[in-house]
Amino acid sequence: MQLKDKVALVTGGSRGIGRACAVELAKRGANVVLTFQGNEAAAAEAVKACVDAGGKAKAVRLDVADTAACTRVVEEVMKELGRIDVLVNNAGISIDGLIMRFKDEDWDKTLDTNLRGAWALIRAGCRPMMKQRGGSIINLSSVVGEMGNVGQSVYAASKAGLIGITKSLARELASRNIRVNAVTPGFITTDMTAGLPEEMKKGLLQIVPLQRLGTAEEVAKAVAFLASDDASYITGEVLKVNGGMYM
């Protein structure tokens, strides 16, 4: 119960990596507030999974691209629970396409969701953490933000930007005992990868030394470690969870 009585805000917590993070934090004793954008049934199932894991949880609807809404959610959590100890910026989208065919509006949507939203939540969330003189912020970036990928230049830009935010704010917030780290998953078994053709999956495995896709739970354990006091002297770090795909 490393996170007993801690309050954790997890964005995009109704499915995939976000859900796994919410459940893992709940399992370790956290009171979890998970956000979702559209699927209320999936959010309710995620809340139940958190409670079944031994924690407390509630779901809040949020479009992270709406910066005013990000601020309101943080204010609501503070009003109801009195603190925020852990912020996990997981919500994200991937709109893929070759550069010559990419639309301006798809650039805006990707950056607003993956980068601007995380920045807005950190801006709002760091205020109570400063008053508490402590907190842990974990940004879910991607291996694609480190090594690039054909057809994912915009997604890569958003995820590389998260790494830049992580390192800059780790320096900026360290004096208040707020740690800021990033996790960069490789190819993980989620809804996003489920639709990939089998031939593409086989090709991916050839460049992963561990010869398999990762699981959302493996990413969640890395996030939970960074959220806990076990990582009390770690900040500005980019923790790779990619099976050795990029070192």
Catalytic residues: 155
**Two structure tokens written together for 159:** 């995820």
At residue 125, what is the residue type?
Answer: G
Spatial strand order in the sheet of 86-89 = 56-61, 31-36, 7-10, 86-89, 135-140, 178-185, 238-241
Sequence-ordered list of residues with C-beta below 8 angstroms from that of 216, at least 6 positions apart, any chain: 16, 17, 19, 20, 188, 189, 190
Q: Which among 154, 149, 156 has a CA at the least distance from the CA of 107?
A: 154
Task: Determine which helix (DSSP H) or strand (DSSP E) holds 138, and give its type and residue range.
Answer: strand 135-140
Q: Which residues does residue 196 pair with via DSSP β-bridges, in sequence order?
A: none
At residue 148, what is the residue type?
Answer: G
Q: Which residues does residue 180 pair with via DSSP β-bridges, in sequence order?
A: 137
At residue 112, what is the residue type?
Answer: D
